[in-house]
Amino acid sequence: MADIPSTEIILDRGDAGLGFNIRGGVDIPHVQGDTGIFVTKIRENGAAFKDGRLKEGDKILEINGLKLDHVTHSEAVKCFVEAGTSVHLIVQHGAEEAICNKHRG
């Protein structure tokens, strides 16, 4: 969705990990009409919770420079597992809600 601005977030993995769950991918889309990777849960004590900027419903466009627009769910998970200690994300805040509203209206 080109009309949603993207935001850069850098998270340090730390002992508790990144602390969020993802869904989506070209093989199992989470949102009708969009095969992107979406944040579905932020876990307390993880890096994302402590940082406070990443939210449920955000779409992750890139991780460490790798675009996630045409990957399977397992490929996306592998990117996060192998991302290292400092993880650079490009996200669209509120993308899930915006996409669902567009399909309704």
Q: What is the 3 state secondary structure string of the chain?
A: CCCCCEEEEEEECCCCCCCEEEEECCCCCCECCECCEEEEEECCCCHHHHHCCCCCCCEEEEECCEECCCCCHHHHHHHHHCCCCEEEEEEECCHHHHHHHHHHC
pTM recorded for the entire structure = 0.94
pLDDT in tens, 22-77: 999 999 999 998 999 999 999 999 999 999 999 999 999 999 999 999 999 999 99
pLDDT band at 103 (very low <50, low <70, confident <90, very high): confident
pLDDT digits 0-9 by tens, 3-22: 789 999 999 998 889 999 99
What confidence tier does 102 reach under pLDDT thresholds 50, 70, 90?
A: confident
**Domain locations in the chain as residue ranges:** 6-104
Band (80; pLDDT cuts 50, 70, 90): very high
Give CATH for domain 6-104: 2.30.42.10
Q: Does residue 1 have a pLDDT over 90?
A: no
Q: What's the pLDDT at 105?
A: 63
